Amino acid sequence: MSEILSTVKDACHQALDTVRDLSRRAPGTITTQALCIGAAVGIVSYLLLKKRYRLPPGPFALPLIGNLIAMSNSEEPYYITLSRLTEKYGPVITVYLGPVPCVTLNRVDVVMEALVKKGGDFSGRPYLYSMEVMTEGFKDIIFANDSTAWKLHRKIAVQALRHYMSGAHLEEVVQEVVTKAVEKMLAEPGAFNPHSLNMMLMFVMLDMFCFGGSKDFDEPKLVAQRDFFDKFTTDVGNGFLEDIFPPLRYFPTKKFRSFSDGLDEFLGYIYERIDEHRKHFSPSNIRDITDSILLAQKQAEQEEGSGAMQFFTNTHVGQTVLDLFAGGIDTSRMTLDWGIYYIASFPEVQKRMQAEIDTVTGDRLPGLADRPRLQYTEATLYEIMRMGTVVPMGLPHKTAVDTTIGGYEIPKDMMVLINHWALLHDPEKWDRPSEFRPERFLDAQGKLISRPESWLPFSAGRRSCLGENVAKPELLLIFACIVKRLQLSLAPGSKYDYKPGISSFILHLPKPYEIIVTERSAGKV
């Protein structure tokens, strides 16, 4: 190292001497030759002296393109490919998304090391141009970096969720909306794809929680926003070239222009509902999640000299509401798509769920108080979440400092992805992981076992899903109410297919399927 430093030092002195000599011969000018020498020395010095990292191994990557072509040409989804690559490279693998290096974590021990043991090191979010546009400058919770503002918004959001999506209110809304969804299903004349109805169920439910909104499944505004959101989720899941190749931001693709136009309309819907709440806001009558967040903004305004308002502008309010509204819809409706598919595909599982639910509830709909006695039903929900890994690579992390993981060095600002699919299908952690078996979550007495370490559908650590404690009871109640009322089966001629139908950078959805439903005599309430 001392020899390299001496060589660089000598080269720098030689370049300076050349520049001085040229300046004496041509006062007031610096020749192109001198500039070239200086630039060359600078580049050499940088390459020789920049810090070297022992990055994790990974497959060969093409210049600029990286591993994108190899991933897109693979017959299997990329998260499964990464899981297989652990046999060659180990659980920590470097891949290139275009020119951008990315470290992927594919086993629970290295994931827990990163997210829990070294949570602060991996708490950032990488810069994505599309997300900057969507979040109006990262004024949200999901994609914002760990900061004072982020901690404030997350705390307020968690409090709002716990208050307005829990207890009797959660139970009342779920039962009412599921009843309407069941009536819609029973009105279908034959086999049908439940995707749009599943999404509308979640859309209506979150509209009620966030805005005290309409219970009408045919409300035109809700239908329009549902249709946009369905396309929006798919577009985001497949990614944008503008995130990888910056020049395209000045000449955006047709796909990105469509995304931007639709986003303006969707944000307009959110801000319109917030403005309606402002007109009738009363601190003594907090009606829903939006009112709760507006109350927090009012309280921030009263904290004179605290500087709190710089973290709680109207845009912050809008983005916090958007996170809860859109986030509450998206993963839940995808879990619902998988859940209906699995329940219809495995009649023996459905029969056992119905027997348990009927025994516990009698002639009424299931409620939250029944949860401790719906052990098999909850085990089925956990298996649905394991098999239907709706966000297989989670949301990207970014290192806040130089750090290490699994014995490798990871530089600051490196993108890090968690392969949740690999965790939830690890053959060392799960017996016959490709099989749908709810009983894997039960002990010999039929009681729920402690959550397996590798069951992390909501991630872990400080960036874990803020809605986990709401989503599990909500989804359990939705499935229990549907299975109580209906007998579900796949359309004639259809058969269960383990392989996903839609796999993208973010999404993992079942292939389009159709079901037939009939009303259960034991389910009439």
For 9-14, what is the mean pLDDT? Answer: 50
Q: What is the pLDDT of residues 73-94, one digit of tens each?
A: 677 888 888 999 999 999 999 9
**Res. 71 pLDDT band, cuts 50 70 90:** confident
**Where is pLDDT greater, at 15 or 410?**
410
In this predicted structure, what is the pLDDT of residue 27? 53
Asked if pLDDT for residue 14 goes beyond 90, the answer is no
Q: How far is CA 516 from the centre of its chain?
A: 31
For 307-311, what is the mean pLDDT? Answer: 71
Asked if pLDDT for residue 96 goes beyond 80, the answer is yes
Q: Is 102 annotated as a binding residue?
A: no
Please choose, from the candidates 486, 488, 458, 454, the residue with its C-alpha nearest in 3D space to the C-alpha of residue 472.
Answer: 458
For 37-55, what is the mean pLDDT? Answer: 54
In this predicted structure, what is the pLDDT of residue 188? 95
For 101-117, what is the mean pLDDT? Answer: 96
Residue type, 509: L
**Res. 206 pLDDT band, cuts 50 70 90:** very high
* Cα separations in angstroms, 130 against 65, 395, 463: 19, 14, 20
**Where is pLDDT greater, at 186 or 508?**
186
In this predicted structure, what is the pLDDT of residue 367? 96
Q: What is the pLDDT of residues 315-325, one digit of tens each?
A: 999 999 999 99
- Burial class, 241, CB count within 10 angstroms (exposed 0-12 / middle 13-18 / buried 19+): middle
In this predicted structure, what is the pLDDT of residue 144? 93
In this predicted structure, what is the pLDDT of residue 107? 96
In this predicted structure, what is the pLDDT of residue 24? 56
| Look-up of token digits 């979150």 | 206
For 277-295, what is the mean pLDDT? Answer: 93
Asked if pLDDT for residue 106 goes beyond 80, the answer is yes
In this predicted structure, what is the pLDDT of residue 222? 85
In this predicted structure, what is the pLDDT of residue 48? 41
In this predicted structure, what is the pLDDT of residue 19? 45
CB-based contact 107:423 (threshold 8 Å): yes
Q: 461's torsion region: left (phi>0), alpha (psi -120 to 50) or beta?
A: left
Q: Per the confidence metrics, is the pTM higher than 0.75?
A: yes
Of the candidate ranges 44-58, 258-272, 337-351, 376-390, the one whose mean pLDDT is the lowest: 44-58
For 166-192, what is the mean pLDDT? Answer: 94
* Cα separations in angstroms, 138 against 171, 399, 462: 33, 17, 18
* Cα separations in angstroms, 17 against 11, 32, 299, 500: 10, 15, 65, 66
Number of Cβ within 10 Å of residue 402's Cβ equals 14
Of the candidate ranges 68-77, 119-128, 180-189, 279-288, the one whose mean pLDDT is the lowest: 68-77
**Where is pLDDT greater, at 254 or 227?**
254
Q: Which two tokens stand for residue 348?
A: 């023996």
Asked if pLDDT for residue 114 goes beyond 80, the answer is yes
In this predicted structure, what is the pLDDT of residue 5? 42
Length of the chain: 525
Q: Which two tokens stand for residue 219?
A: 């409300």
At residue 174, φ and ψ (nearest 5 deg) are -60, -50
CA dihedral 184, 190, 191, 195 (to 10 degrees): -20
Question: What is the pLDDT of the chain when averaged over all its residues?
Answer: 87
Asked if pLDDT for residue 338 goes beyond 50, the answer is yes
Please choose, from the candidates 109, 112, 157, the residue with its C-alpha nearest in 3D space to the C-alpha of residue 468.
Answer: 157
Of the candidate ranges 188-192, 201-205, 234-238, 254-258, the one whose mean pLDDT is the lowest: 234-238
Helices and strands: H and E segment counts in the chain: 18, 10
In this predicted structure, what is the pLDDT of residue 42? 46
Asked if pLDDT for residue 20 goes beyond 90, the answer is no
What does the angle CA 343 – CA 347 – CA 353 come to, to the nearest 5 degrees? 65
In this predicted structure, what is the pLDDT of residue 216? 85
Asked if pLDDT for residue 51 goes beyond 70, the answer is no
Residues 52, 58, 61, 66, CA torsion sign = negative
